[in-house]
Each structure stands twice: as C-alpha cells, then as structure tokens.
A = this chain, B = another copy of it.
C-alpha cells in the first residue's frame, strides 16, 4: 500500500482543508500519515466525525509560517510538520510527502534531508499545465532565479523522466523557452542550452515561445525559475481577469446573464480544467525522494488531488525512473555536453 505523508499544518486553510483532503484520499484507498500538532488534528477529526481506516497521525509540535524567512529557518526547526514529513520519506516510512505550506521551506528541507539525485546540480519546481491538447510540464517555476545552461539541460532530463513515469508519455518531447524560434535568439545562457539540448539525445523540438507553452508544443518546457514563475503566475492572472470580466458582463446585461446561466456547466468545466492546482501539486524534481507542494490556497479537493498525484507517481515508479534517467544522463551532460560548451565562454 502506498503511504503519503501530508502536512496537516500547511496552507492558508490548514488544518481543516489539509485534513479533509487527506480523509477523502484515504477513502480512495491511499494510506495517509497526517503530520502536525496531534491535539489540533484530533480536534479537527472530532469535528468532522468519522475517520476512515488508513489514517495515521504523526506528531510535529512546530509549524512553519508562510513569511519571508521561513525557508532559512525551516532547516533548523526540526520539530516542524515539514521537517518531520520529509523525514518520513527519507526513512522510507512514507512514499511521498505533500504540503500546501511555504514552498521555499519545503524545498530547503527536502534538499537538506533527502539530498540531490546524482548529477543534478539544482533541483527544480515543476508545474504540470492541464492543457486541452495534453499536459505540459513547465520547469523550473521558481526555485532557481538564475541558472546556467547545464542546469537547463538537467531540468530537461529530469522533466522527461517525470513525464515518462507520471505522465505516461513514452518519449516526451522537450522545448526550450525562448523569445524567438531561431537557435541564435535569447540570452547567451539559452543559446548555449539550445546547442547542448540539440545533441543531448532527448527529443528536442527547439525553442518554444511563451505563447507555445500553452499550445502543447512540447511535453516538457525548460526555463529559468524567474521566467517560469512569471509565466505561470501571468497565466493565473489572465484567467482571473477573463473570468472576472465574464461575471461583470453577466451582471450588466440580462441577455448575457441568461447566456452565462446556460453556459455555466461548460464554463465551470473550463475553469476546472484550466486550474492546474486541481491537477495535483508541483513536484520537487531532482531531490532524492517524492515531495510535492500544493498551492497555498488549496481547498480540500486540491489537497486530495495532490495526494492522488503523489500516490500515482509512487506507484508508477517515479523514484526509480528518475534515478535511472539521471544516471544515464550524467556522462552526457556533465562530462561531454556542457563542459565543452561552457569552456567556450559567453558567445
């Protein structure tokens, strides 16, 4: 049975949303370990009433807040739900850890506790975009504000391994986020990465522009964490604006209101499909263990979805597939590919 450790104290709506979401996952046959202040969790379970089988409590006296310095502090606060949850994965008492808490804190603790997969210099945050034509994994979406070309190539390898293991894509395609289609476009980091990806053995489709990211031009799109984060949040912002506008026009015209009422199920389906949070949490890719961060604003449904994603990833052998892919990559990326390119210096 797959065991997923869940941060009961993480997220804007914790502990209620985290616990309710975990119970729903347990009812689907996933064993969950709720990590947090046991007194708080038990009070919440009492309020809810019935606890399904397969729910275990793991006490963590401390909880990391969402603020600025949390990521740094998290490394030393060994009583926190994040620290103890990641420890469960490290000691193989859980197959995966899911938290809607501070992303930076989860990242820092996972890196410290689990370490990196061999050959991966910089783990990345991935976001699986639920596009109509199929999912696209965008990475990095915020862990590395500045990258070197070798990091982008490593992101590609690890992203491909994830989409193979979890997305079920046999030979995922890879795109390089850039501001034009030509190999000579962009910063010198992406120009260098383009050359390295072209000879990486991966199914590289070339540069992908911001627009193409949402047209499923590739299964995996690699970017520095600054740009990836900006794109992901911009997409959220645009969707917000459009749905707000839809509500506004519906409020101002009878005709539009009747139309909106009739379209409601379809609009809701679109809103759900475009909500990447529903499609499971953001994987931390490159650490030696399965750790997923859910959106801070996750509701119970989003938490359940994150737990299901984590469990499915485990069952599909994410850990072994990633380790194997990264093992196969090492020589290619670190010894021949990038080292040679980087010795040329900036173009």
A230 at the interface (CB under 8 A from B): yes
Whether A253 pairs with B227 at a CB distance below 8 angstroms is no
Whether B187 pairs with A145 at a CB distance below 8 angstroms is yes
A window 226-267: CB within 8 A of B: 226-227, 229-242, 244-246, 248-250, 253, 255-256, 258-266
Whether B211 pairs with A236 at a CB distance below 8 angstroms is yes
Whether A214 pairs with B234 at a CB distance below 8 angstroms is yes
A142 at the interface (CB under 8 A from B): yes
Whether A241 pairs with B188 at a CB distance below 8 angstroms is no
A188 to B145, CA, bound (A): 9
A38 to B227, CA, bound (A): 44
Cβ contacts under 8 Å, A182 to chain B: 68
A179 at the interface (CB under 8 A from B): yes
- Closest chain B CB from A338 CB (angstroms): 19
Question: How many copies of the shown chain assemble into the complex?
Answer: 2
A273 at the interface (CB under 8 A from B): yes
Instruction: Give the bracket for the number of chain A residues in contact with chain B.
Output: 35 or more
Cβ contacts under 8 Å, A44 to chain B: none
Whether A273 pairs with B259 at a CB distance below 8 angstroms is no
Cβ contacts under 8 Å, A114 to chain B: none
A window 257-309: CB within 8 A of B: 258-266, 269-270, 273-274
Cβ contacts under 8 Å, A270 to chain B: 242, 245-246, 249
Contacts known (A230-B230, A263-B259); A241 close to B131, Cβ less than 8 A: yes
- Closest chain B CB from A171 CB (angstroms): 24
A336 at the interface (CB under 8 A from B): no
20 contacts between A and B (CB under 8 A): A68-B182, A145-B179, A179-B226, A187-B226, A190-B226, A209-B229, A210-B230, A210-B232, A211-B234, A211-B236, A212-B233, A214-B237, A230-B230, A235-B237, A239-B242, A242-B242, A242-B274, A245-B273, A256-B262, A259-B259
- Residue ranges of A at the interface with B (Cβ–Cβ < 8 Å): 68, 131-132, 142, 145-146, 177, 179, 182, 184-188, 190, 209-215, 223, 225-227, 229-242, 244-246, 248-250, 253, 255-256, 258-266, 269-270, 273-274
Apart from A179-B229, A187-B226, A255-B266: 18 A-B pairs, beta carbons within 8 A: A132-B241, A145-B179, A177-B230, A209-B233, A210-B236, A214-B240, A215-B237, A215-B240, A226-B227, A230-B230, A234-B235, A245-B273, A249-B270, A250-B266, A255-B265, A256-B262, A259-B261, A263-B263
